[in-house]
């Protein structure tokens, strides 16, 4: 039986089938994205490093924490974190509606893109922008982890400037890393992004760069352009949300 999602107190709406997932305002070739997310992958670094599964009991907690229980998203904190971006651009870009009236399930709904989106048509504006990148988190330098980095419009524009600059880009240059941290100021959150050359990693941050083998292992797990991290709801599901909003108006 298909998994269901319930919106408010209304009927349960089946998740869309793989065929229905092929519909996406950002895709025109009609193909179906192969996957919606890549789970965190941990690679132990060091010239003589054994696979994480053979590292010994001392490493169990470290690997479990790094893997984050299957959470694929990068969590940016107040502590500066070193990351390696694995592609020169985002594999998924979209905006989302926030529907407070949804009582069961995610309140964040991927926008179809105006003017086709039913939520946009009734005046509910998409409020959040997302650009998604595959990155390696070096928060624990000994255990790099593959994560999905969902960035807002400000950081996305900074990354675009670097990517399109002949002297600073591309983002996935072999000798290029980044640091990212957030700072909460009153009611707003600001993110600080900085470029770091590979040669400065050890001296400035105590981080060894990824070796070719580890980097290749992470790149093999990357999303392809057009893969999605958030599902596109089909017409029936969107209709159900529209009715929920109209009934509460």
Domain spans in the chain, listed from the N-terminal domain onward: 4-248
Residue 5 DSSP class = E
What is the average pLDDT across 133-160? 95
Mean pLDDT of the chain: 78
The residue with tokens 């169990």 is 60
Residues of the chain with pLDDT > 90: what percent?
A: 59
Read off the pLDDT band of 112 (50, 70, 90): very high
Read off the pLDDT band of 41 (50, 70, 90): low
Per-residue model confidence (pLDDT) at position 28: 35
Per-residue model confidence (pLDDT) at position 105: 82
Please give the structure tokens belonging to residue 44: 């132990």
Per-residue model confidence (pLDDT) at position 97: 95
Burial class (CB in 10 A: 0-12, 13-18, 19+), 180: buried
Residue 39 pLDDT exceeds 50: no
Which residue from 81, 134, 104 is spatially nearest to 6, judged by alpha carbons? 104
Per-residue model confidence (pLDDT) at position 153: 94
Per-residue model confidence (pLDDT) at position 96: 94
Residue 173 pLDDT exceeds 60: yes
Torsion of CA 97, 100, 103, 106, to 10 degrees: 30
Read off the pLDDT band of 185 (50, 70, 90): confident
Per-residue model confidence (pLDDT) at position 16: 35
Compute the distance between CA of residue 183 and CA of residue 171 in angstroms, rounded to an integer: 23
Residue 107 pLDDT exceeds 50: yes
Q: Map 11-31 to HEC letters.
A: CEEECCCHHHHCCCCCCCCCC
For residues 66 and 129, the model is more confident at 129
Given a contact cutoff of 8 angstroms between Cβ atoms, the answer to whether 227 and 91 are in contact is yes
Residue 199 pLDDT exceeds 80: yes
Torsion of CA 222, 227, 229, 231, to 10 degrees: -160
Residue 221 pLDDT exceeds 50: yes
- Angle at the Cα of 184 (from 176 to 156), degrees rounded to 5? 40
Residue 148 pLDDT exceeds 50: yes
């Amino acid at each position: 039986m298909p998994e269901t999602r319930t919106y408010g107190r209304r009927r349960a709406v089946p998740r869309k089938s793989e065929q229905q997932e092929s519909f996406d305002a950002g895709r025109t070739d009609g193909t179906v994205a192969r996957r919606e997310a890549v789970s965190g992958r941990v690679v132990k670094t060091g010239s003589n490093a054994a696979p994480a599964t053979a590292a010994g009991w001392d490493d169990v907690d470290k690997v479990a924490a790094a893997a984050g229980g299957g959470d694929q998203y990068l969590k940016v904190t107040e502590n500066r974190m070193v990351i390696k971006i694995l592609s020169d651009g985002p594999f998924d870009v979209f905006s989302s509606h926030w529907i407070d009236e949804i009582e069961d399930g995610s309140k964040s709904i991927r926008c179809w893109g105006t003017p086709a989106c039913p939520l946009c048509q009734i005046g509910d504006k998409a409020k959040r922008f997302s650009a998604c990148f595959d990155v390696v988190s070096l928060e624990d330098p000994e255990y790099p982890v593959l994560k999905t980095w969902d960035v807002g419009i400000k950081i996305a524009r900074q990354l675009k400037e670097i990517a399109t600059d002949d002297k600073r880009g591309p983002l996935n240059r072999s000798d290029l890393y980044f640091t990212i941290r957030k700072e909460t100021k009153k009611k707003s959150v600001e993110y600080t992004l900085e470029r770091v050359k590979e040669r400065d990693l050890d001296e400035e941050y105590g981080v060894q760069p990824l070796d070719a083998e580890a980097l290749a292992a992470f790149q093999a797990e990357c999303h392809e352009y057009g893969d999605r991290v958030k599902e596109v709801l089909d017409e029936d599901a969107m209709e159900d949300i529209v009715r929920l909003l109209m009934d509460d108006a």
